[in-house]
Structure 1
């Protein structure tokens, strides 16, 4: 198989993920928490032996010999951030060589500074797609339904783990009928493809759905899609109503990140349901804001042993609510993050944070960035580089990536010492 996974591995992953989903529904929050502590202990003990980053971190914190028996023991471990991992080097975080044939790599969107590489085993990546399917089915999707995903810059490019009997775009044995629509295309092309596919389910980021909805509205067109699923950004009650009006169907939201994909889902903008016992959520100390109590999210991905994320500050905050620690095994409050603006390019094209992350993933000397559209419609890339970075090398890499997407659109570079980061650790990568 091109995925490097055997048929048996695929269906064992499918069965295991389905069992995890069912067990997580049947188990009480306290039962899940007890199981998570045991799995946390195994991951912690593995990381401190096989990851130079964690071995040094725990040694400096004096917790190398800590025995994990309860939540209080877990809280003695230091919290980890992207900046700490960047400073150490990704190779030191990994527990195996980054070119190992069993690994795949994705890049984060850059909303906390710059795209960050995340590695995991193909089997782990595969199960993340299965969790996505289960989340869709919980919101009304069925196996025979068509899914349109406005996602990548090239509809033909897929990870190896997507070229299989579950997620392939062709083949008699496929279970999931999914069709990619390139996100950089003109709105005419995207809308025409949606009209031609007539999908039962549409999935993309909130800003991309906003762009499509706005364009369809300008044509007085309602795209009749029964289920619209937003992921990757915050979705509010206002977003829900806008998407319902634009697409005429139900709206759901999936919460996840590359560090721990597809962790929870919700219908509309309500509390998220955590549907896997393999994601360990913690909340920071609640802080009073204008919207009520908020708390930063700290997570541990209990599946990824290749690149462990242990007590990892993701950069999101959530409504804290009146729940105890055990209940975090079942649900978390609405996420308070950010939804990027949509920048308008010639020819009906929209520039969203998906395309921004594609450009900046090839220019990793950048410490933090933001694309800004000025009143004259010009596009400016504001950036701040790492101290040792070569500015000419960065500009060349960013411009080459930009021209691959938009060869006819000028890009202006503007150096900035600092770009404001929201208290949640996120910022808008696109701003009008």
Structure 2
């Protein structure tokens, strides 16, 4: 049975992970062309030459340090022999050399830390390498649809957008939310608040009761090492909120759930570890000015059910398909039309090797909008977290493979339900799957 790791209580800085490189520098030295070709698919300029030069500079310095240490040890022994032979002149000369070597080694230690940091910083911002079957492209226009499920409803009236429905009902208040918090916040009230709560509960019950995920309640505030482990730091510092005491509000439950195995060697028999959590998520939405400013599509705070899987190398691809199917099942049960697309190389997230986005149909917008993103990350996060497992019959350990997926975004599910189940009189019919959670309510109407 999976047991949560016990914290040592020591907070490591991001730069203390020097030995845990995000991409294996040995592999880069041996496969520079492969690295540059993979990065080119993601629109990233060639980096292998610069990385290898940094690594060579660091290795040469380490070699000089080792030579100096060996010489210091040898000279120390020679001092003993000179003292025993009462050759004070030679002994003093050798002592001077030892002092010089000691001074060099003290400065060299600082230089080694600097070179370590330089290489680590360079590797820390390199995105993960895409799998071979990921379509090559620049942006979302090059994503490839793999399936479409459900029928788009034909309305006898012009369907409204969710914020029009919510405000008319009197249960969605953006003005008061802005008064107390600013833009990109929403106050839900009364029956809409209950509907959102019902959605989150339904999703969590489905994943834990039928899909085999273990429910976890994890911290919403995390430290630097935790954000680094899943790839939020250092590249996406501006996309997250930081507290005055140096902690971070989680942008997704992927962050604390995945890090539960950080610095652990997991028993192979415990894999796969499947976890799910319903949490608020906090994002600064840096760079999204002017996008989705109306309504609650793009918020600083929103609820999401997150699924995380920790697997061995051989199981990760199959687990990715399984996880995506679990997310799709949420929308099937809710009766929401959706399509699943595989993201092209230019549209994938930083830590992903392959990603499926599930897009739900919003009749008010007359558009498909993302409601879930399921990614397989390979050992990218495992390396950053130093999370390992030992294959059966082997002495050496390997880094775990990680996956994460929305199961699904609760706020966007609320939007989809409101728009797809709206009626001509402004009410919203409650989907059958949510009726057990609604206390007898079958329709959302104005109070």
TM-score by structure 1 length? 0.27
Which has the larger helix fraction?
A: 2
Greater RCO between the two (CA within 8 Å, min separation 6)? 2
Larger Rg: 2
